[in-house]
Chains A and B, each alone.
Chain A
Amino acid sequence: MQPVFGFRENAHTADWELEVWAPDLATLLEQAARGMYSLSGMQLVAGESQERSIALHAVDAESLLVRFLTELLWVEQEEKLGFDGFAITVEDQCDLRAELRGSTIASLDKEIKAVTYHNLAVQTTPQGLRVNIVFDV
């Protein structure tokens, strides 16, 4: 039986496609972030703790997802920080507040250029929510 939340990589000829599922939108966003970090092979420096707060507004759940992951990419590329602790709340599918805990990136295998909107749709399933995200690499 499939766990209630998680992610896996799907085949995509040129880029990376991540399938993510979760019981609610906040968990979906957290799993998407963990999946994105996993795809890029991110390793964090052990024994260090840094915190960041993020607040975002978007027009719908898909835009919120793209904006959240894009924000994490920005912090990854400009501050060399990654996160493994997430406390996320979402209101009305449009407003996000996230308290993130993590550390400096020790190593990164692959660079993600961007989070795309390609065929992006957060779908409701009997188990919760599911989405496929294509990253440009």
Chain B
Amino acid sequence: MVTLQDLKRISDYEWEIPQSFRPDMRVPVRLFATRRMLEDVANDKSLEQAVNASTLPGLVGHVIVMPDMHQGYGFPIGGVAATRLPDGVISPGGIGYDINCGVRLLGSQISVDAAHPHLDDLATALNQFCPSGVGEKGVVRLTEAELEAVCRQGSRWALRQGFASEADLRRTEESGCVEGADPSKVSKRARERGRPQLGSLGAGNHFIEIDLVERVFDSQAASVMGLEQGTLAVQIHCGSRGFGHQICTDYVEEFQEAVRRFGIHLVDRELVCAPLSSLEGKNYLAAMRCAANYAFANRQILANSARKAFEQVLAGKVKDWHLHQIYDICHNMGKIETHVIDGERMQVCVHRKGATRAFGPGAPELPDEYKAIGQPVLVPGSMGTASWVLVGTSGSMEQSFGSTCHGAGRLMSRHEAKRNVRGEKLRQDLEAEGIHIRAGSMAGLAEEAPQAYKDVDQVVEAVVGGGIARKVARLRPLAVIKG
């Protein structure tokens, strides 16, 4: 068990578990958090899981853990780990079952005053246009050939079908399509699950939220993004649905045998992995990219549905009801990137599980308009609390493989949340605060109660203090749609 006494303080916002802590660690663990936040996670298994992740073959630099860390399975949520090509490993459990779970932020010119009389109708319309809930089917039913096209093209497929604009794609991580996806590496079961679900939100912690841009901290960056104080914005949080879940399940199972063949010793079977240069590693990467592209297309279609909902409610009532894309980011991904580690420039596979890519100014991967300010980073809070728009920094490139936090991070178990919070009472409380709620399940709503999460403002203070992100704007929720 890792205790606070085992941590070496680097700064008020940066701590280290040295490699000497356990003999099987291959790299140290670097934590971005305040001491108070570390005290909060001392009771769950986040730190132990980070140490376990540090035993994977081929790791370079540090295993990084973000301040929104909490216990997961295999890797902690909020974990980032990079393995060197060609012989470092890729771990499906280090990316997660909801491959390319992520967030999209849409901005608008709609003032909160003009929208205020229509917020309840907007919440209802979003709930009607964007299918959500357990096992819910999507807006689009795909044929086998269309599913393959989605796998290969991601948001480009959505563009061809009229669900997207060129600007949407430009302002999406990887332009909404990771190259190297190969549908032949995806199982029949995953395909069957994927075909009916495109354009659906799902359940759990996924949501669509209408926000008010409450305060702008960096007017230049906000202006470039098209974020204006006092206007509405929309967040969409979801991933690759059953398609991604099944792909991860299939490869975690297949890799149980592969690790024996490769002689890889594991402290936790959820950390199964295979060398990136192996057939197994290549096959998983190609299948994972299919799920990543499916998720990009999924959020794109939901964004299109959100635009339709806004048009239905606001056309003729406000001057401009259009929702423009600010950015779309991934939370759960394995990506081949080039980073400078210990002075050496190298290609690595960056595993981000509950962490966001946060490339700094000048990164060639960014669209031209964002090259000067850095990559937008979207940090959703919990229902009833703030969300943040940040940008990546040169510090994130140097210290955290161009990564930062992904949300508030859970504090309370789902079991405890359900015991302490009544869904209906929570809904009433949030409505009393002026937040319109649409939820498929009151039990599900209770599990996602704001008190079950950390203070997102403190999480943001920690990444800003640690130098791995910069504040742009703070958002406040006005309406929340949950499955």
Contacts and interface: CB of A to CB of B under 8 A. Distances in A.
Interface of A: 9-16, 41, 59, 62-63, 66-67, 70, 74, 77-78, 80, 108-111, 113-120, 134, 136-137
A78 B193 CA distance: 7
Interface residues of B, number: 43
Interface of B: 44, 46, 70-74, 77, 93, 96-98, 134-135, 189, 192-193, 202-204, 242, 245, 248-249, 252-253, 256-257, 268-270, 272, 410-416, 441, 443-444, 447
A15 B411 CA distance: 12
Contacts of A13: 44, 46, 70-71, 410-413
30 contacts: A11-B415, A12-B71, A12-B413, A13-B70, A13-B411, A14-B72, A15-B73, A16-B415, A41-B443, A63-B253, A70-B249, A77-B193, A77-B242, A78-B192, A80-B135, A108-B135, A109-B443, A110-B134, A110-B444, A111-B134, A111-B203, A111-B204, A113-B204, A116-B93, A117-B93, A117-B269, A117-B270, A118-B268, A118-B270, A136-B245
Contacts of A110: 134, 203-204, 441, 443-444, 447
A108 B447 CA distance: 15
A14 B71 contact: yes
Mostly, the A contact residues are loop
A67 to B, nearest CB: 7
B278 to A, nearest CB: 19
A89 B203 CA distance: 35
B268 A119 contact: yes
A103 to B, nearest CB: 17
A78 B257 CA distance: 27
Contacts of B249: 70, 114-115
Contacts of A117: 93, 252, 256, 268-270, 272
B280 to A, nearest CB: 16
A41 B203 CA distance: 14
Contacts of B245: 113-114, 136
B256 A59 contact: yes
Contacts of B242: 77
B74 A114 contact: no
B248 A118 contact: no
A111 B72 contact: no
A62 B98 contact: no
B416 A11 contact: yes
Given A108-B134, A134-B73, A137-B414, A113 B256 contact: no
B6 to A, nearest CB: 20
B269 A120 contact: yes
B411 A136 contact: no
A113 B97 contact: yes
A137 B268 CA distance: 19
B273 to A, nearest CB: 12
